[in-house]
Amino acid sequence: MATDILMPALSPTMEQGKLAKWLKKEGDRIKSGDVLAEIETDKATMEVEAVDEGVLAKILVGDGTENVAVNTPIGVIAAEGEDVSARSGQPNGAEAKGVAPNVEPASETGSGTGSGGGQAKGEVPAGGGAPATVPAIPKAPSAAGSPPQPETTAAPEIPEGTEMVTMTVREALRDAMAEEMRRDKDVFVMGEEVAEYQGAYKVTQGLLQEFGPKRVIDTPITEHGFTGLGVGAALAGLKPIVEFMTWNFAMQAIDQIINSAAKTLYMSGGQMGAPIVFRGPNGAAARVAAQHSHDYAAWYSNVPGLKVVMPYTASDAKGLLKAAIRDPNPIIFLENEILYGQSMPVPKLDDFVLPIGKARIHRTGKDVTIVSFGIGMTYALKAAEELAKEGIEAEVIDLRTIRPMDVETVIRSVQKTNRCVAVEEGFPQSGVTAEIGMRIMEEAFDYLDAPVARITGKDVPMPYAANLEKLALPNVGEVVQAAKAVLYR
Amino acid sequence: MAVAARKQSRAASNATEAEGQGELPELNKDQELEAYRLMLLIRRFEEKAGQMYGMGLIGGFCHLYIGQEAVVVGMQMAAKEGDQVITGYRDHGHMLACGMDARGVMAELTGRRGGYSKGKGGSMHMFSKEKHFYGGHGIVGAQVSLGTGLGFANWYREDGRVSLTYFGDGAANQGQVYESFNMAELWKLPVVYVIENNRYAMGTSVSRASAQTDFSKRGVSFNIPGEQVDGMDVRAVYAAGRRAIDFARSGQGPYILEMQTYRYRGHSMSDPAKYRSKDEVSRMREEHDPIEMVRRRLIERHKIGEDELKTLDGRVREIVNDAAEFATHDPEPDVSELWTDVLREA
Ligand SMILES: Cc1ncc(C[n+]2csc(CCOP(=O)(O)OP(=O)(O)O)c2C)c(N)n1
Ligand SMILES: [Mg+2]
């Protein structure tokens, strides 16, 4: 029986790739484990290995073909002597258009640049994406859907008439580091795979080439050690940027972050502090399960002596990272893998630096205030769109910095709307949204027409199964419902 | 760099020398057959997993063990029932070698209710109390202290068990490894540390991350004995495994085995593959394949016919296909599972 060889996906987001070359010819005998062909995307290559035995009866997609959709049959393996002449390169419409489930990459290995970055965490494309040989593809987690077009209201920091260029959050972060490294010789980057590999998620792409191995340093897998080393270097006056491959691994190093970086200025009576930036992706990616999905916003925001920044837009990522590198204090800079691939406008300015500790009103409205930050903004903005369809005008505030928290901006908004929903992906107990609720109660209780509501990640470790993961994360519907609840609708 | 190159080639030539010297204890026919069957099962299982990942049935990370099969298979042949196994995220092979059911492992990879963790753990986080497999850990190096704790429990209970604690060349640089070594030797805990040196931690070669690239010496300052072992040859692994496990079981304390091995595939499913040459990979596959070596011996020394091997291949393939079929059709966990297993009833 002839079996199709399907175009495989390098990552769950990959939708198409190049068939670089066949390593077997038509007529070659194949046994499992044989490398049949090489495929490529812009970031990664992969060998297609045979799982079935037989003869490579037909090559359906030739060497060098670009944009081959995932799951397209690229060749046929047949039993010896079997006739496969009827097979053509376009088996049937549904198959040829096959797409991989549109889950954001789960990769410490660079697949974070998959082509689907823009639709991170979107629904699985409807319909017959999968070939007949692949029953029951699990539904990908649907959290925030496609990124809302940031219809940023007046961004006070960007002068009117400034030209905007579209770039990914990943590029904005890279540019911020490169600009600051050009500006200040004391700034250097270290972390696992940041140099030769160009970053596990490609955020440090090109930095080694520009700044050399003394300033872009690959470390061994020794988080506690290199974090302490970084803090020591900072105490001595250098300005390290320490990248954690993900923040989950910074738990190995949290003692040095808190006991050494955060407290030394105070303990030394102001003699020495640590001008250091700790950065990397934080929170849930997709299907990476409990140990790789933790959101640390609440944890670090609990600690005096730290500043905690968690941007959502590309332009905030750039302006705030530049500010963080210049700041004389230890900064926790929480990025998000799913946002890395999203493209947004960034002002084309020589030196775009944003103030740490200032929230931004992302969308104005008068009926209800929705406060969030980081990836939580994707739920907030989508919910605001939904609410708008029902005539409810939500004001959406992006905190941008968790500590110090710009409570003033939130309070001013609540004084206007009298209602508030706070949204985060982290756990509910002692979460950032709990803090927001408390601060509003302390400072604007009399303005409230309803108790502050919060939508958070569920109070369970992140499950792996696609259906459970989807349930564990917040969703737009929950935010919409909460907004209506505080409006008594 | 020159040093690195020299060290690596020394490791590789050790491997060939060892094979050529023929001073390795021979395995009998049944042992060779069992080693062959298990390694093949792992290889086929991993190939299938790779394929299912490509089809979108498996999500997240999926770290394949292809190329390293002889390590866990040789060690399991040397271990006794009741000895514990713990490793990192490249764990599918360890689970199969511990006798865990292929269906349950594959269904965990697809996140279904029949998986070992009911679909809640995924590829990196699986456990089986029954088979004494303690995971399945996603944090590099964490399993080393945990494995030391398993050894501690054995020492405490005086039950004669040994903890087989596996970790990579990259993990070997984590600080807690050395904290564990110190305690293990101090208290003479029955732990065999198996360092699977596959030459790379993601895209970082051993020489770019390690000041001391001879991992068998990593216990020297704690007085823990260590050996470098040709981890592509199941006989060598088995022989060293026997020595190390006997040593630990007899109350003399921990032992370190550096298994010189190689991963054929990328670190996880996607890999820019720019940190090593294609030649290097194909040379290892062609000249040192752990399964091929046993296959040759089975045919040449043990006079096993091609037919018999084909039948065996077929049976392995059946197990893997059945597991894949099961893992594809088994339903996702019930939604109520979201809230279970967070805490136990006190
Ligand atoms: C504490 C921690 N840091 C970083 C990572 C990311 N990471 C996962 S695997 C890996 C490489 C480990 O290499 P090695 O120990 O040699 O094992 P191998 O993958 O080769 O089996 C890294 C850096 C992690 N999971 N945990
Ligand atoms: Mg390794």
pLDDT computed for residue B97 by the predictor: 98
pLDDT computed for residue A412 by the predictor: 98
pLDDT at residue A480 tops 50: yes
User: Å from B250 to nearest chain A CA?
Assistant: 33
Top pLDDT among B7 and A185 is at A185
* Inter-chain touch B170–A221, beta carbons under 8 Å: yes
A95, A179, A223, A425: the active-site residue? A223
**What ipTM score was computed for the predicted complex, to two decimals?**
0.91
The dotted CATH code for A3-78 is: 2.40.50.100
Question: Residue B59 is nearest to which of A12, A109, A193, comparing CB atoms?
Answer: A12
Average pLDDT, chain A: 87
CB contact under 8 A, B268 and A107: yes
C-alpha–C-alpha distance, residues B36 and A33, integer Å? 16
Cα dihedral: A350, A355, A358, A360 (round 10): 0
Residue of A nearest to B59 (CA): A287
Q: CA of B260 to nearest chain A CA: how many angstroms apart?
A: 19
Ligand whose nearest atom lies closest to the CA of B63: 1
The domain limits of chain B are 27-327
* Distances from the Cα of A247 to the Cα of B1, B168, B329, angstroms: 32, 21, 35
pLDDT of residue B269: 85
Mean pLDDT of A229-235: 98
Residue A52: band (very low, low, confident or very high) from pLDDT cuts 50, 70, 90: confident
Read off the pTM: 0.86
* DSSP strands (E only) in chain B: 84-86, 163-168, 191-197, 200-201, 204-205, 226-230, 255-260
How far apart (Å, rounded) are the C-alpha atoms in residues B285 and B304? Answer: 23
Q: What are phi and psi of A383, to 5 degrees?
A: -65, -40
Pocket of ligand 1, candidates B94, B123, B140: which has the most ligand atoms within 8 Å of its Cβ, to mutate?
A: B140
- Rounded Cα distance between B40 and B322, Å, is 15
Q: Is A469 a pocket residue for ligand 1 (Cβ < 6 Å)? A: no
- Which fold is adopted by the domain B27-327? Rossmann fold (3.40.50)
| Residue position matching structure tokens 């199709």 | A4
A363 min Cα distance to partner chain B (Å) = 34
Q: Which atom of ligand 1 is nearest to the CA of B268?
A: 19
| Phi and psi angles of residue A2, each rounded to the nearest 5 degrees, phi first | -75, 140
Tokens read off for B288: 């040192």
Statement: residue A141 has pLDDT above 60: no
Contact check, Cβ <8 Å, B139/A248:
yes
Of A159-163, A235-239, B3-7, minimum mean pLDDT range: B3-7
Looking at all shown ligands, the one closest to residue A220's CA atom is: 1
Please state, in angstroms and rounded to a whole number, the distance separating the CA atoms of residues A148 and A382: 6
Of B47, B54, B60, the CB nearest to A106: B60
Task: Please tell me the predicted confidence (pLDDT) of residue A86.
Answer: 65
Per DSSP, the residues of B319-335 read: HHHHHHHHHHHSPPPPG
Residue with tokens 């002002």: A347
H or E element in which residue A173 lies: helix A169-183
Report CA(B202)–ligand 1 centroid distance (Å).
7
Token pair for B72: 């866990």
Residues A345-369 pLDDT 10s: 999 999 999 999 999 999 999 999 9
Assigned CATH class of A164-347: alpha beta
Tell me if domain A164-347 and domain A360-487 are identical in fold: yes
Q: What does the DSSP assignment read for A307-374? A: EEE---SHHHHHHHHHHHHHSSS-EEEEE-HHHHT-EEEEE--SS----TT--EEEE--SSEEEEE-T
Share of chain A above pLDDT 90, in %: 69
User: Considering only A37-46, A250-259, B216-225, which range has the smallest mean pLDDT?
Assistant: A37-46
Q: Distance between CA atoms of A198 and A108, rounded to whole angstroms?
A: 12
DSSP A252: G
- Where chain B has pLDDT below 70, the residues are 1-22
pLDDT at A13: 64
- For residue A102, is pLDDT > 70? no
pLDDT, tens digit, for every residue of A256-314? 999 999 999 999 999 999 999 999 999 999 999 999 999 999 999 999 999 999 999 99
The alpha carbon torsion through A387, A389, A392, A396 (nearest 10 deg) reads: 50
Give which of A355, A226, A315 is closest to A278, Cα–Cα.
A226
Distance in angstroms (rounded) separating the CA atoms of residues B215 and B217: 5
Architecture in CATH of A360-487:
3-Layer(aba) Sandwich (3.40)
Is the Cβ atom of B72 under 6 angstroms away from ligand 1? no
Q: Is A15 in the pocket of ligand 1 (CB under 6 A)?
A: no
Q: Closest ligand 1 atom, CA of A292?
A: 25
Q: Is B275 on the interface with A (CB under 8 A)?
A: yes
The domain segmentation of chain A, as residue ranges, is 3-78, 164-347, 360-487
- Tell me, what's the pLDDT at A1? 67
CA dihedral B338, B343, B344, B346 (to 10 degrees): -140
Edge-to-edge order in the sheet of strand B255-260: B84-86, B163-168, B191-197, B255-260, B226-230
